[in-house]
Structure 1
Amino acid sequence: MTAHSLTALAPVSLALTDQNPSMDFTADQLLQYNGTDPSKPIYVAIKGRVFDVTTGKSFYGPGGSYVMFAGKDASRALAKMSKNDEDISSSLHGLTEKEIGVLDDWEKKFEAKYPVVGRVVS
């Protein structure tokens, strides 16, 4: 009998499209992916990167706990751990170092769970 050894493989990033996002979205275009049209995917942006969160539609779709983030850049709200409409914004202006850290943690969670499909442009 021959002994076989296993070699650990380097981790593979699932967010391959992040290096070259395939789609650019204006804020108005992103809003079309807010979960109200069941024929379209659900997108949420963080720091301008658009994630396809359709697999998490129980959270981001109609009736979900985070439905207010669907179709929007939720960076500020996630950093502040807020669901208030006035915080749902791409603006990072005035955030504390701790809030930026919270946002970075959210971004890592999204990267691990959802594919990047594009970016938000002005």
Structure 2
Amino acid sequence: MSEASEQKGKFEPKQPVQLDPPKDDVITREYLSKCDGEHEGYPLYVAIKGTVFDVTGKESYAPGKQYHVFAGKEPNRALALSSLKAEDVKPEYDDLDDSQKKVLEDWYTFFSKRYNIVGTLQSEGISNL
């Protein structure tokens, strides 16, 4: 198997996933923050690089579970650093090195092959968070 085809299949789900066409709804950070599994009536969302993924029904993002720290947030930095620390769960990642940005891109690819895209985060400048 060539390295290129090995890379292509690297992020494929073990079981085929039927995804809906991506939506381009604008989602505010305030709404996203309620999509953390702790607000009744809200879905479970994780945003990566401005794209919002619906992880509802995926147990590992539920309260008390391994990846709950990412739920309702845009954990770009934490994903790039392969960190589960709450202090790393931030949208900012421009200051990271190329290898860390590649890890973040790999996570984006991983999510895009498993979870429906439900919208994009409203642009409001990350600097004022």
Aligned to 2:66: 65
In structure 1, the residue matched to 2:19 is: 14
CA distance in 2, matches of 1:55, 1:105: 22
Equivalent positions of 1:1-122 (< 5 A) are: 14=19, 16-17=21-22, 20-21=23-24, 23-56=25-58, 58-121=59-122, 122=124
Q: 1:14 deviation in Å?
A: 3.5
Moved over 3 A (4+): none
Aligned length: 106
SS at the partner of 1:108?
helix
Once residues 89 and 47 of structure 2 are traced to their aligned partners in structure 1, the CA distance between those partners, rounded to angstroms, is: 11
Counterpart CA distance in 1 for 2:88 and 2:20 is 27
TM-score by length of 2: 0.75
Residue type of the partner of 2:118?
V
| TM-score computed with the length of structure 1 as normaliser | 0.79
Q: Percent identity?
A: 38
Shift of the alpha carbon at 1:24?
A: 1.4
The separation in 1 between residues aligned to 2:117 and 2:102, in whole angstroms, is: 20
User: What is the DSSP-based 3-state SS (H/G/I as helix, E as strand, rest coil) of the residue aligned with 2:26?
Assistant: strand
Q: CA deviation at 1:15?
A: 5.8
> Are the counterparts in 2 of residues 15 and 111 from structure 1 also a CA contact under 8 Å?
no
Structure 2 unmatched ranges of 5 or more: 1-17, 125-129
Q: Provide closer, same or farther for how the CA distance between residues 15 and 92 of structure 1 changes in structure 2, counting only shifts above 3 A.
A: farther
* Structure 1 unaligned spans of 5+: 1-12
Alpha-carbon distance between aligned partners in 2 of 1:64 and 1:38, rounded to the nearest angstrom:
17
Moved more, 85-94 or 71-80: 85-94
* Aligned Cα root-mean-square deviation (Å): 1.6
| Residues 17-71 of structure 1 deviation map (CA, whole Å, 9 limit, x = unaligned) | 1xx51x2122222101000134321000000100000131x11111110101100
Report the AA paired with residue 64 of structure 2: G
